[in-house]
Amino acid sequence: MSAEESRLRITEIFFSLQGESSLVGYPTVFIRLTGCPLRCGYCDTTYAFTGGEWYTPDAILQKIKQYKTNYICVTGGEPLAQKSCAALLTLLCDEGYKVSLETSGAMDISSVDSRVIRVMDIKTPGSGEESRNRYENIDCLSAADEVKFVICHRSDYQWSKSIVEQYNLNNKCSVLFSPVQGDISASELAEWILEDQLSVRFQIQLHKYLWSNQPGK
């Protein structure tokens, strides 16, 4: 791959606390790639759909080395929409970082390095993008990976329960249920999970509580 072919268009590289997944709370460098083929109704990173700047892999490494953390999260947009993303993930693993990938579940994850923690959405009906789910990705998941359901309302919750059961997700990887802020309350979703005694991990977006008016955190 030539230097030009290995470049990635990036919206931002920033240092913050991980707000989601099993790594929540860890100081983390986020690499937000530009562009996404989906248009979920609750998207909070629409600013990453366009624009950005081109970075070579070496420039990315130089940028992240200024931060004293071992945790890197590659996010978007939809990172896997850029062909060079898989190579970047492998490079970061080779450099000794603990790497996670946040992906929509609409792109093929089979080429992602097995050392990467894949945090994959399964889009609920309330997202408006349920039809984009690539269910064959489930066969690629390992115990280190995580599947996330972002839930807009009670019917989304019931739908998500059925998908967890249908695909036996609890025996494949961690399962995360997260409420859409402003659509349902966090406590409401928590009560549903407890009432049904679901073996899922409830999560809120920590960063939205810490920095509610500061995008880029």
Give the tens place of pLDDT for each residue, 53-75: 999 999 999 999 999 999 999 99
pLDDT score for 181: 85
- pLDDT, residue 214, reads 55
C-alpha–C-alpha distance, residues 120 and 108, integer Å? 11
Q: What is the pLDDT of residue 209?
A: 72
pLDDT in tens, 121-179: 999 999 999 999 999 999 999 999 999 999 999 999 999 999 999 999 999 999 999 99
Q: Which amino acid is at 94?
A: D
Residue 3 located in a structural domain: no
As for how many domains the chain has, the answer is 1
Largest CA distance in the chain: 55
| CATH code assigned at 40 | 3.20.20.70
Is 216 within the bounds of a domain? no
**What is residue 127's predicted lDDT score, i.e. its pLDDT?**
97
User: Which residues lie below 8 Å from residue 163, measured CB to CB, with a gap of 6+?
Assistant: 122, 149, 169
Paired tokens of 19? 């707000």
The residue type at 75: T
Asked, for residue 53, whether it belongs to a domain, the answer is yes
CB 7 within 8 A of CB 85: no
Kindly list the strands in the beta sheet with 8-17, ordered across the sheet, starting from the edge strand earlier in the chain: 53-55, 8-17, 27-33, 71-75, 98-103, 117-121, 146-151, 174-179, 201-202
CA 41, distance to chain mean position in Å, is 16
Q: How far apart are CA 166 and CA 184, in angstroms?
A: 25
* Percentage of residues in the chain having pLDDT higher than 70: 95
pLDDT at 57: 95
Taking 80 as the threshold, does the pLDDT of residue 41 lie above it?
yes
Q: Specify the length of the chain in residues.
A: 217
Residue 1 lies in a domain: no
The model's pTM: 0.93
Structure tokens at 201: 């991990």
In a domain, 2, yes or no: no
| Whether the predicted pLDDT of 194 surpasses 70 | yes
pLDDT at 187: 95
Alpha carbons 178 and 105: distance in angstroms, whole number? 16
Domain membership of residue 182 as a residue range? 8-210
Q: What one-character-per-residue DSSP string does 20-47 give?
A: SSTTTTSEEEEEEE---S---TT-S-GG
> Across the strands, what pairs with 179?
151
Contact status, residue 76 vs residue 119, Cβ threshold 8 Å: no
Residue 149 lies in a domain: yes
Q: Which residue has the higher pLDDT, 92 or 1?
A: 92
The DSSP element (H or E) to which 86 belongs, if any, is helix 85-94
Q: What is the mean pLDDT of residues 185-206?
A: 94
User: Is residue 184, in this structure, part of any structural domain at all?
Assistant: yes
Q: What is the pLDDT of residue 208?
A: 72
